[in-house]
Amino acid sequence: MALPTYADPLERAWYYTYRTICVLIFLFLIAPILVVIPLSFNVEPYFTFTEKMLTLDPEGYSLRWYDALLTLGHPAPETARDATWWAAAWERATWVQAAKNSFWVGLWATILATTLGTIAALGLSRPEMPYRRLIMALLISPMIVPIIIIAVGMSFFFARACVAPDSVMGLLLGWALSEKGCLANSHLGVIVAHAVLGIPFVIITVTATLSGFDQSLIRAAQSLGANPRITFFKVIMPLILPGVISGALFAFVTSFDEVVAVLFIAGPDQQTIPRQMFNGIREAISPAILAVATILVVISTALLASVEMLRRRSDRLRGVTGR
């Protein structure tokens, strides 16, 4: 949208004002995210730039808040950093535990949401699917219904959703349930809650990929003698894989960032990074949170890059030109 040569001064002025406005809005979008990165290296326990930081004095910067992530909850933080120190940090440090919990919960929630969501999306994108619109509306609704309502409902229901430890279900799932055999205060409870929240993203991305999918390829495969399993893994899967992976990444990020459901249904054993951050911001806010924030920004940048790459690959595979 270059400025045409015949533009009059008023149009010229408007053109540059418009560009300036756009730059300011982009700044509004991105500056808050960028600002946490230098602040996390602050040597002082403040949330603002010190004079030394502004003059780029190396003394104004330090890694102490990253160090604090390892020492908080460490049984012997001051001892020499040998193998036992690192082992203790891995086993005991509060933030490390939270990271591990977040990772495992996110992984299982993603596997659950992606598997169920992809299979369902295959059904939903068939032209014969009955009640398509209604079912779509239902499956997207976890994204629309306020998370607080979902969390309240789950906190009521999961406290009652219990199995006897000596029953078949208890023996099968007991390891993932709470001590009383309930979904509340259990890892499984948090995992299924996060899986539900991730499902809309999987459904949306996979059905979008499938919208350009040529259904006659399935018939072609079948007419050539492929059974449904081979058709799925050799024909459908390679074509929709980019969509499935970006759906999975969305689901993982949703789980990795989710705090409300965790606050309502999780017990002390399910401390996750967002929950730790939420409590940290509410109680004693320390720049250690900025260090975590910086790490999360790096992770989300990496995830965004992968999703963009996948989308382009998917567009290429489906023959969509342009973007």
Partner 1 sequence: MAEAAPPQTLTTADGRPLKAALLAAQSRAKRRAFLLVLPLLFFVLLTFLIPIGYMLKRSFEHDGFAASAPALVAWFQGNADFDPANPPEEAFAALVQDLARMQEEKTTGIAGTRINYSVPGTISLFKKGAREAKGLTAPFKESLLALDAEWGKPALWRGMASASHVYTAEFYKVAADMKLTDDGWQRGADNERIYLYLFFKTFLVSALITVICLLLAFPVAHLLATLPMAKSSLLMILVLLPFWTSLLVRTTAWISLLQEQGIVNDLLVGLGLVGDDGRLTMMYNMTGTIVAMTHVLLPFMILPLYSVMRVIPPSYARAARSLGATSWTTFRRVYLPQTLPGIAAGSLLVFILAVGYYITPALVGGADGQLISNLIAENMRRSNWSLAAAVAGMLLAAILLLYWLYDRLVGIDRLKFG
How many C-beta atoms lie closer than 10 Å to residue 199's C-beta? 26
Q: Which of 87, 138, 220, 237 binds partner 1 (CB under 8 A)?
A: 138
123 belongs to the binding site for partner 1 (CB under 8 A):
yes
CB of 82 to partner 1, least distance (A): 33
Restricted to residues 38-67, the positions that interact with partner 1 (CB under 8 A) are 39, 46-49
Q: Which of 107, 111, 140, 173 binds partner 1 (CB under 8 A)?
A: 140
CB of 250 to partner 1, least distance (A): 7
Restricted to residues 142-161, the positions that interact with partner 1 (CB under 8 A) are 142, 144-150, 152-158, 160
Tokens matching residue 230: 């081979």
Restricted to residues 10-29, the positions that interact with partner 1 (CB under 8 A) are 11, 14, 18-19, 21-22, 25-26, 28-29
* CA neighbor of 38 nearest in space, from 55, 21, 19: 55
- Please tell me the distance from the alpha carbon of residue 34 to that of residue 40, in angstroms, as a whole number: 11
Q: How far is CA 307 from CA 165, 202, 211, 249, 253, in A?
A: 42, 13, 18, 8, 12
**Going residue by residue from 167 to 206, which x/- string records binding to partner 1, judged by CB under 8 A?**
-------------------------xx-xx--x-x--xx-
* CA neighbor of 181 nearest in space, from 166, 193, 195: 166
260 belongs to the binding site for partner 1 (CB under 8 A):
yes
**How far, rounded to the nearest angstrom, does the alpha carbon of residue 186 sit from its chain's CA centroid?**
20
- Closest to partner 1 by CB, 88 or 105: 105
* CA neighbor of 318 nearest in space, from 175, 237, 211: 211
- Please tell me the distance from the alpha carbon of residue 162 to that of residue 11, in angstroms, as a whole number: 69
- Closest to partner 1 by CB, 85 or 258: 258
Element (H, E) at 17: helix 9-39
List of residues 6+ apart from 188 with CB closer than 8 A: 173, 176, 177
Beta bridge partners of 61: 42
- Closest to partner 1 by CB, 92 or 147: 147
* Binding residues for partner 1, total number by CB under 8 A: 95
Q: Which of 162, 173, 208, 226 binds partner 1 (CB under 8 A)?
A: 208
CB of 97 to partner 1, least distance (A): 17
CB of 234 to partner 1, least distance (A): 18
